[in-house]
Amino acid sequence: MPWSKWKLTQSLSSRLILGFVAAIIVTTIAAGVPAYWMISRELEQEAQARLQDGVLITDVLLEAEKTRLVNLASLTSQRPTLRNLLRERNTSALVEYIQDYQTSVDLDLLILCDNQGLSILGDDQVCPWGESPTSPRSAFHLLPLPAEIPAFLAGLEIRDENTAEVLGYVTVGNYYDDTFATQLSSQTGFHQSLILGGKRFVTTIEGSPESLDSETIQSASDSGSIEVTELTLGGERFLTALLPLEGWFGEVIALAEVGLSVNSVVAAQHRALLTLNVSTLGIIAVVSLLSLLFAQRLTSPLSELTEAAHKISQGDYSTPIRGPDDPIEIATLARALEESRASTHRYLRDLSQEKAWSETLIESIKEGIVTVNAQGLITSFSQGAERITGWERAEALHATIDEILPLAELNGSFVDHIPVSGIKQQINVLTKQERPISLAVTATRIATPKGEEEQVLVLQDVTQEEALQNLRSYFLANISHEFRTPLSALNASVELLLEDLEDLSQAEIGNLLNSIHMSVSGLQTLIDNLLESLSIEAGRFRIRRRRTDFNEILLEAVRVMKPLLERRQQTLSLDQPERLLRINADPTRLTQVLVNLLSNASKYGPLGKPIDVSLEEIDAYQLKVSVADRGPGIPTDERENLFSRFIRLDTQDNTQYGIGLGLSVVKAIVEEHSGKVGVEERPGGGSIFWFTLPLDSEGS
């Protein structure tokens, strides 16, 4: 028998035996008081200990809810789709997106405000922040609409990832209502109530919600500390603890009430007293033996419960508590303690699963996420960071950030270039293989569970984006040449007409006008492609559909291309179905597609060779248009990037045409029409550029 159990048994047994003997000598009351007092004290201490456990578990659950909301606010604020919709002020799309997102993350409310603090999604939502939440904030709050409803909220500003401009503010939250209180009660095993304005706003306690201790409520509200009291609700006695719930500025807005019924404890006290009184009427000869047996029977379950409670206090939540079947009071207490243990064990397991899910979510993010403590040491290193830097996590942990991310230029350390929260900073560093890369770095500060402050760095590899920017610069340097050539030809032709018009023959005038027309057409195509490319990049590219005959679009494209084809002595060969092919599309844009493809086929094809154009109906639902030339063809390894911007191919005479925008515009226009575009090798030499369009279901 363990020493604690033996000591408890021996002490209680001795007192019981002495009490029975004293009852014979003095009175029955004198014999029963010590045992009754001891049992009552044990039961009350157990009840107090259980209530303290309930308070601790409730506080942990409420803090976990706040942390979950803060994490959701932070993740929501960083969603690219939400930022794009805010920039575009597309209210209808925002409403649909927010509704879908709110459902997916199980939130009671999701409030979106603009950078002036005004609601974007309707007047029924009010932005709750008195000032902009520049970092994740969470608090307990009273929402004014549609009625005064208490809720846990977390908010964070939404910034443009490029300009750091504040686009708006997002607030996520869950109501502290009957559903939340019931869920909290099932998780803790205790009754849960919310006291607001001196009244119980929600409660899981059946019966009348009167019997509020106003002095205790006032004391808890003023001091901001936990207050314990005993009261009667619905004819049942309870031990309750009041936990202050604080608002934005630390003020106590409401009180969370954790309740534990002590009726069973009171009943146990009464039955213990009755048992002691009845036992005094036994035979004096066996009183000591009966007292010893009774003491062992009474104290053994309590000792087991004490040992079980001690294990729980040391963190052992996996060992079940097997209480006795009687006495009923201790059995009830044992069952309640087992329920509390099982509930806590489930909660800790759920927390572990949520932690694992959060870590998996972080690892799935393409960008690298690194946390750095106050000493500059790396405390976490995501898979994205491994992919970007080339360092393994085991190598990076506990190393300094300057060791893992040395600067490509010797002008200081990485720490000196870390931006402030909400600002994106581009930093050139070296990978583990000493390969220079450009990182777009954003940083924010968070508090760890230990109360320490760490920096969270989000690393995005923008090396390719920077290379694209250089390519754009190359494009701008060459675009002047592309404009100068047709303008020079246009200027020369106009000067000849102005100076020698009277001396020129009709054929010479026709040739000059044809040259002018070709120059204007070339400029028009170049400008159209440039403007379309800019609108695509700016996200303003749109098409205007109408029902039309595709043959009309083809004829217009041929009319535009006729001077160039005649000059290069090229003819068009057309293969098309007999019936009219009608589509619901933008004729102007599709004319531009055909002009670009025909222009490329003419310029990259040999002089005097025909260009084949075919229209093919696929499955009665799609139209496939093919433009085939007899040029040198396109190498297989160059086809993948052919429809990207600024990509140009050399002709047979090593001459480069255009600025590399035509095919990218073709791809954007076709895909906007829900079609596809591609290129393949032409049998016998050359290339076939093709695209598909959906046919008009009502067309003939």
- The model's pLDDT over 445-458, given as tens digits with 9 standing for 90+, comes to 888 777 788 888 88
- Helix or strand run (H / E) with residue 227: strand 227-233
pLDDT digits (tens, 9 = 90+) for 110-165: 888 877 777 776 555 567 766 666 666 677 777 765 567 888 888 888 888 888 88
Question: In angstroms, what CA-CA distances link 306 with 42, 84, 384, 485?
Answer: 10, 59, 49, 95
Q: Please give the C-alpha separations between residue 503 and each of 130, 181, 514, 573, in angstroms, as whole numbers.
A: 82, 99, 18, 39
| pLDDT score at 9 | 45
Lowest pLDDT segment from 26-35, 302-311, 649-658, 683-692: 649-658
pTM: 0.37
Closest to 366 measured CA to CA, from 463, 458, 466, 467: 458
Strands 572-575 and 611-618, sheet pairing: parallel
Q: For residues 577 and 392, give the distance between their C-alpha atoms in angstroms, rounded to a whole number.
A: 61
Q: How confident is the model at residue 12 (pLDDT cuts 50, 70, 90)?
A: very low
Tell me the torsion sign for CA atoms 233, 238, 239, 245: negative
Helix (H/G/I), strand (E/B), else coil: 236 = strand
Q: 611, 571 in Cβ contact below 8 A?
A: yes
Architecture of the domain whose range is 366-460 = 2-Layer Sandwich (3.30)
324 upstream amide cis, omega within 30 of 0:
no
Q: How confident is the model at residue 176 (pLDDT cuts 50, 70, 90)?
A: confident
Residue 43, number of CB atoms within 10 A of its CB = 22
pLDDT computed for residue 152 by the predictor: 84
Question: What digits encode the pLDDT tens for the residues 426-435?
Answer: 888 888 888 8
Q: Which helix (H) or strand (E) holds 507?
A: helix 506-537
- For residues 381 and 377, give the distance between their C-alpha atoms in angstroms, rounded to a whole number: 11
**What whole-number distance in Å separates Cα of residue 630 and Cα of residue 610?**
8
660: left (phi over 0), alpha (psi -120 to 50) or beta: left
Res 6: pLDDT: 46
- 3-61+182-333: CATH topology: Beta-Lactamase (3.30.450)
**CATH topology assigned to domain 78-175:** Beta-Lactamase (3.30.450)
pLDDT band at 654 (very low <50, low <70, confident <90, very high): very low
Question: What is the residue-averaged pLDDT of the chain?
Answer: 77
Three-state DSSP class for 386? helix
Mean pLDDT of 621-639: 87
Tell me what pLDDT residue 680 has: 92
Distance between CA 378 and CA 393 in Å, rounded? 10
Assign domain 546-694 to its CATH superfamily.
Histidine kinase-like ATPase, C-terminal domain (3.30.565.10)
Confidence of residue 597 (pLDDT cuts 50, 70, 90): very high
Residue from 75, 4, 60, 71 nearest 447 by CA: 71
